[in-house]
Every structure is written in C-alpha cells, then in structure tokens.
Structure 1
Amino acid sequence: MSEIEASIFFKQTSYSSLNDLMFLIQSPYYTIFKDFCRKLK
C-alpha cells in the first residue's frame, strides 16, 4: 500500500488530517493497520 493509497483511504474515513496519518505511521498500530488493509484486498 503506497502513501497515496493510504492518504486516499484516510480521506474516505474520519482520519482526514495529515497529523493523524503521521501519528498512525509512527505507532505500533500501523503494522496492524497494514495487515488489516491487506485483508481487505
């Protein structure tokens, strides 16, 4: 999942701000989030 795809995904959800995106990328939950996105495909 590219950064562009991630930003599109976040715009489609309540996490539309860049700060929220950066926070998630820096958090351990980002790994869980990436796994979740893989399961959606």
Structure 2
Amino acid sequence: MNEKGLTALLELNDNDTVKINLNKFRETDLCHFFTLFLKVI
C-alpha cells in the first residue's frame, strides 16, 4: 500500500464499510498495516 492509499484509508476511517473491511483483516495483516502507518508518520 502506498502513502496515498494509506492516507485515503485513514480519511475514510469513519466509513462503516472501511471498518468492516478492517475487521476482516487477519491479525498479521493488521500488524503490517500499523507498521506501515508508523513508517508514514
């Protein structure tokens, strides 16, 4: 996921569909997402 994609996802974080998609992540995917998130910050 590139930084633009990550920013778009964060901007849509209040969207119910995005929340549902995040809930479907495997734990490893979620950890990888947060690793990318911390790198962007």
Task: Give the TM-score, by structure 1 length.
Answer: 0.53
Cα RMSD over matched residues?
A: 2.4
Instruction: Report the secondary structure of 2:24's partner residue.
Output: helix
For 1:20 and 1:10, the matched residues in 2 are separated by: 14
Question: Where does residue 11 of structure 1 map in the other structure?
Answer: 12
Match in the other structure for 1:36: 36
Unaligned runs of at least 5 residues, structure 1: 1-7
Q: Take 2:29 and 2:39, find their aligned partners in 1: how far apart are those partners?
A: 15
Aligned length: 29
* 1:10–1:23 CA distance, 2 compared to 1 (3 A): farther
Extract structure 1 runs of 4+ deviating beyond 3 A: none
Q: Deviations over 1:5-29 (max 9, x none)?
A: xxx71607xxx412101112xx111
Rg larger for: 2
